[in-house]
A and B are shown apart, each in its own frame.
Chain A
Amino acid sequence: MPGEIWVFAEQQEGKVKKIALELLSAGALFAEKTGQPLGALLLGSELKGATESLIPFADKLYIWDDPELAVYSSDTYLPAMAALVRERGPSVLLGGATSTGKDLFPRLAAHLRTGYAPDCTALTIEDDGSLVATRPLFGGKVFSEVTFSDDRPQMALVRSNTFSVDPNPKRSAEVFSVPFVSESARAKKKVLAREKAPDERVDISEAEIVVAAGRGIKAPENFRIIEELAAVLKASVGTTRATVDEGWRELKDQIGKSGKNISAKLYMAFGISGAIHHVLGIGTCKTVVAVDSDPNALIFNYADYGIVGDLFQIVPALTEELKKTLTDK
């Protein structure tokens, strides 16, 4: 079959993002099923380390290495990728549902006049190479299965942790250095600065484990016990709208409608009643644990495991128990 399966290998500061490896791992299965080669697209500057990490994951590695690409901008990434797409005619182009992906893919798809499925929670490919994407609508109240027109490539953004990273990738990519041609005539945006958030943790939308507390935490300083639990689990800390509205936590950590959707392997909710706006944001988490003092709390309807109890008692004990368990493997 003509065409290639491509994955946009997003990198940050020279390191390839985990979502890209997840998609390449899934892409490998798609490639095998349809008999197409698997390609990865890497754009940036000083990409030696990134390149090496990608070689086992793909058949072809297309690299644009230029200082002007060091920081992502649709003004540079889009024309570069579009040109190669038109040259090579891939059948599928996947990316992670990250801030970059969401900024780039819709515009690129419009530019290429091709189909695009945002924020997918599942993805399969038919024998004939047609992509089938599953994505939530209405904030997660309903899911849809989406198919694509004949236009190529079929583009999709996929959520973190939808696929797992192949622990033993066995490919050996052929590296193609693509010359980057700067379109200086075009009016462009300029990135002036990047402000790092004070805490270095992974964004909740990408984290594998998220622990969260809601109104039940009673006071902002009590988040300390949640942070300690998060440290042991190497988790990110999320929260609900209630605490963000109070000013105790930041919007970037809010889970649910008007906040973020998370698709963690493990989600633990402490003192969260389970209002619909929140639970729709956790629907795709694999394992959900809820702890609340109210036996009738709605959160228990959306959890796999539940404990009715006092979070101020349970969380520190959980932290201790995990410290013991996780150290003696």
Chain B
Amino acid sequence: MSSPDIGYLRQNRRVSKVASTTLRDSFSVSLTVGAYGVAFGAAAVANGFSVAQSCLLSLLTFSGASQFAVVGVMGAGGNPISAIATASLLGVRNGLYGVIMAPRLKVRGIKRIIAAQITIDESTGVALNQESRGEDAMRHGFYLTGFGVFIFWNLFTLAGALGAQAMGDIRAWGLDAAVPAAFLGLVWPRLITKRDRIIAISAVALALALTPILPAGLPIIATAFIAIAVGLRP
């Protein structure tokens, strides 16, 4: 009986060790990323959304780039269709993450609905980082990070929205520059190759050139064609 016991203990110790590393990864990502929720809550209110709308976007949309986009387009005077279209183009990648995670999570019904809602950059990223530690660690990383970001992101959104609401003239607090700075902070880590930087600069130029001509919101969506044109080239 001694060898299975030792085997069991050894296996058990390994499981708990994996869990603590995964837990640490998940927690640090959740807190850091969740704290950006302050910037989102403030940006949403600065662009005319109510505190309730800001919080609902974080609860229901729960995808940072899409949320910033919808408040950015509406704040620039765009109509809801352009705002929804821009946000949705940014949300397509969550669908691709779902394709990666589904075979590992193997969930159905209500569990699949919950797993889908927390399928974002961070949960998928931490899960994939645990790949060498096995499928259990990947699942733990996915759920811990997904729920962790969800909790912190929503709490910090509320704080940011209430803070911005208390400010009055947002320009006096620099919030009108903090919002584009936040977008810049989101896009900066994605500018890895020269091609990425050319796309970024071309997109700024195209959006500015189209602003006096097209209704608000459309100049931003139009830049997706730059990405499509470059992506289709071999």
Q: Do A and B originate from a single complex?
A: no
- Identify the A interface with B (CB < 8 A): none
